Structures are given as C-alpha cells and as structure tokens.
Amino acid sequence: MGGLFELTLDDVVGIIPAPTPQDDKYSRGVVGLAVGSDDYPGAAVLVAEAAMRAGVGMVRLIAPSRPSQLALQSRPEIVTVPGRIDALVVGSGMPEASSADITARVALCELGDQAPRIVDAAALGDTPHLGGPRILTPHTGEMTRLAEALRLPGSAPSAWAEALAAHWGVVVILKGHRPEVFHPDGLAYRLPPGSPWLATAGTGDVLAGLLGALSALRRLPQWSFDDLAFTAAAGVLVHQEAASRLSRHSGAGRPGPVLALELARELSPVVASLIAEGPEDDS
C-alpha cells in the first residue's frame, strides 16, 4: 500500500456483513480468546464482552479456571470448549514470561492458516511463532521494549512500529492519543486523536476483543496486508467513537471518565452503524 490515508467512520460503513435469516452462530464468525490469567482474570471478561458486543456469532475462551468462571458469570454465552475459530485474540491479561502458556493455549485452537491473529500484551514477543495474518497492538511502552529487544532502527515509537511491521511481516497498531497503523510497506493510516479518558486500565483489552470480532465477522478467504490494516483502523475508529459517546454520557454532556466494561457495552450501537445493508427478513 504505502502512503498515508486518513479515515473516518463513514469510510468503514459496510465493513461488517448484515446477518441474514440463513445465518447461524458459526456463519456469523467464531472468535477464540487465549486471554486472561489468575493474575489478571478481568481481562477475559473485557475481551469477551467486547467481542460479543461487536456481534460475533460465538466466543470460545481458552483460559484457566478463575478467569473462565469470572467470564462465565458475566457472559454465560461464552463457550469454554476448544474448537474451530475464525480469528484469535491472544495475550491480553497474561503476565510476562507466558510463552509456554501461550503456546499451550494456541495449540488447543482449531485455527486455519488464514485466520487472523490479534496479538496483544504478553504475546507480542511470541509473534514469530504464531504464524498467519497478524495484527499487533503495542502501546508506547511495549513498543519501546520490543525495539530494544530486536534492536530496531529509529529513535521514536513510530519509527520502531514501522520497522517492526516490516521485520515480522505484520500489521502494527501503535496505540496512543493519535493511533497509527503500519504494515510492511510503511504507514497505512494515521487516525484521529482519541479521548484522553481512554488512558485507563482495560480499554486495550476492549480494543483487542473488538478487533478479534471484526476479523471473525469479515471471514475473508485470504487476508492481504491492506485487509488487515483496514480492519485494524476500523477497529480503532469504533473504539474511539464508543469512548467519545460514553465520555459525554458519563460527564453529563462534558467529557468524563471512561470505564472499560462500560466501554465494551457501548460498542454495539457504533458497530450497528457500520453494518452493510442486507436482505429484509420476511419471516
């Protein structure tokens, strides 16, 4: 692709196919979540809630007992039995040095070569072993640590993110006040500034779940870097819009605090505005 593209929500309308009377939970996409841990069990709740609020057909959670039970209490629709998935979110809410755990959980997933992987938090360093189309979601601190470990060229997070995308052949969302999306050919999208109230624990887990859902819902037979970058940018825009709406509501018309679980629940009306027009249900 190369170059710089500005996007708004209007530009991504239609990215999600409308449900039809013939659809079932499998045809609407299945997202697998290798997320959460005994140390950070709440991440499983947040990632799963976000994926469900985005309209995915099924969520499969691959996690230890504590985060699994907490997630099931919040969302009894979650399936904790391994099986086929169309996209995977991995790493959210897992402690550092989780490589063995990540490998074991991913091995339980029936994951095709073309199923996108959303690589977050503790799984970022395991990216080369995950294969397939990949979207990485580092914040500035994580990007700095990756740059030091890999000796990436440049002297700033944007330069490191661009180098990382080329180095590993992936799409990278550099999270921050004004997010940027890179793929191996360079900067793909510089997105509008998000609400400063997004700088709070758990909002990144919400983004990861949303990205997994969007990837599963699209179910492309082949994923190009352009497809991945567009999906990544769309997810960021939805996340930002949900945060903006929630902030205005919590502040009674003025910008106010954003809580992660409430942010996940705010995704549904934003996602609804992006669904492609479908056939009328005459049943």
Nearest 5°: phi and psi at 179?
-65, 150
Burial class (CB in 10 A: 0-12, 13-18, 19+), 258: buried
The answer to whether the annotation marks 139 as part of a ligand binding site is yes
Q: Can you tell me which residue has the tokens 């990632």? A: 47
The answer to whether the annotation marks 43 as part of a ligand binding site is yes
Q: Name the DSSP class of 215.
A: H
How many CB atoms neighbour CB 257 within 10 A?
A: 11
Q: Can you tell me which residue has the tokens 């005459």? A: 282
What is the token pair recorded at 153?
């060229």
Q: Can you tell me which residue has the tokens 């391994």? A: 82
Q: Can you tell me which residue has the tokens 């106010």? A: 256
Closest CA to 70 of 106, 43, 104: 43
Burial class (CB in 10 A: 0-12, 13-18, 19+), 255: middle
Q: How far apart are CA 106 and CA 89, in angstroms?
A: 10
The answer to whether the annotation marks 204 as part of a ligand binding site is yes
Binding residues for AMP: 204
Binding residues for (6S)-NADPHX: 43, 93, 139, 205
Binding residues: 43, 93, 139, 204-205
